[in-house]
Amino acid sequence: MGSEWIDKKGNSRRAQMGLDLERERGAEPGIYRPVMFDWPAGDLQKGRYPGNFVTGEEADVRLRLTIALDGKLSACKIIEPAKIEAFNQHVCPHLIRYARFIPALSENGERVSKSYDAWASYELAPRFYTALPPSAEVSIPIRQASLAVQPTLATAGIDSTIKRPPDIRYIAAAIGVSPEGAATGCTLHSPTKDDTLDKLICDSLKKNLAVRPAINLLTKKAVEGSLTVSLYWD
């Protein structure tokens, strides 16, 4: 996988494997750091593509994956198999061997083993997905939650005594905001991989952020909302 070749029509083709975890993208209650791919530690493109190049075999396999505390897969189960058995036989052993993750971190600073539904895709060429048509449902006009004061690194508990980890240039977090205007949740989407530091950042943001709640513009009442905080760490 990961290699390129030219087909009979002169088109450049590439065999590759993708993996998409179905998880919350915003502030996840009780979770400071969501499960994320640890790309330097693993490589899904290693090994041989299980399909037939000549006939253009591709596949999608739906899975149930459990990420252990060490970032490896502790369980892999096929929920919806591919029509071609070669992909079904390949997917779980391959992911267990090569897939690596940054494990979830709870608000107590403890690593959490979590399970997710996922799609493994085997492709011979990049695919382009068409956006879904707009929903017919009527949306409620909401003024989104916002920052009352622009945060700094100090807001995230970062001072001159804390050394920036290698390759970390910024902090990004999804923040849950209560109707009372309090930061109630924090989920990092650019974690440092250091459990203690990730906990410090979320603890500090929840404590120090000054936020304004979201407002239902029909009722003029405050409602639960969320916002994103991004800070550059020079």
pLDDT for the residue numbered 17? 87
pLDDT score, position 116:
92
The residues near 30 (Cβ < 8 Å, ≥ 6 apart) are 106, 107
Residue with tokens 């494997």: 17
Structure token pair of residue 12: 């450049």
DSSP-derived 3-state class of residue 95 = helix
> 0.75 exceeded by the pTM?
no
Max mean pLDDT among 43-52, 91-100, 216-225 falls in 91-100
Q: Which parts of the chain are beta strand (E)?
A: 4-6, 12-14, 16-21, 31-33, 36-37, 59-67, 73-80, 101-102, 104-106, 111-112, 114-123, 142-143, 146-147, 170-177, 183-188, 211-212, 214-216, 221-223, 225-232
Task: Tell me what the pLDDT averaged over the chain comes to.
Answer: 86
Per residue in 116-137, pLDDT tens?
999 999 888 643 333 445 545 5
For residues 208-225, average pLDDT: 91
d(CA 206, CA 195): 17
Q: How confident is the model at residue 2 (pLDDT cuts 50, 70, 90)?
A: low
Q: 43, 14, 4: which is closest to 123 by C-alpha?
A: 14
Average pLDDT in the 52-56 region?
Answer: 79
DSSP labels for 169-185? -EEEEEEEE-TTS-EEE
**Cα separation of 89 and 196, whole Å?**
39
Closest-CA residue to 32 (of 206, 207, 218, 214): 206
What pLDDT was estimated at residue 32? 93
Average pLDDT over residues 28-37: 88
C-alpha closest to that of 156 among 104, 233, 51:
233
> How high is the pLDDT of residue 5?
56
Q: Which long-range contacts (CB under 8 A, 24 or more apart) does 92-98 make?
A: 92/63, 94/17, 94/44, 94/47, 95/19, 95/44, 95/63, 95/65, 95/120, 96/72, 98/42, 98/43, 98/44, 98/46, 98/47
Residues 6+ apart with CB under 8 A from 167: none
Q: How confident is the model at residue 108 (pLDDT cuts 50, 70, 90)?
A: very high
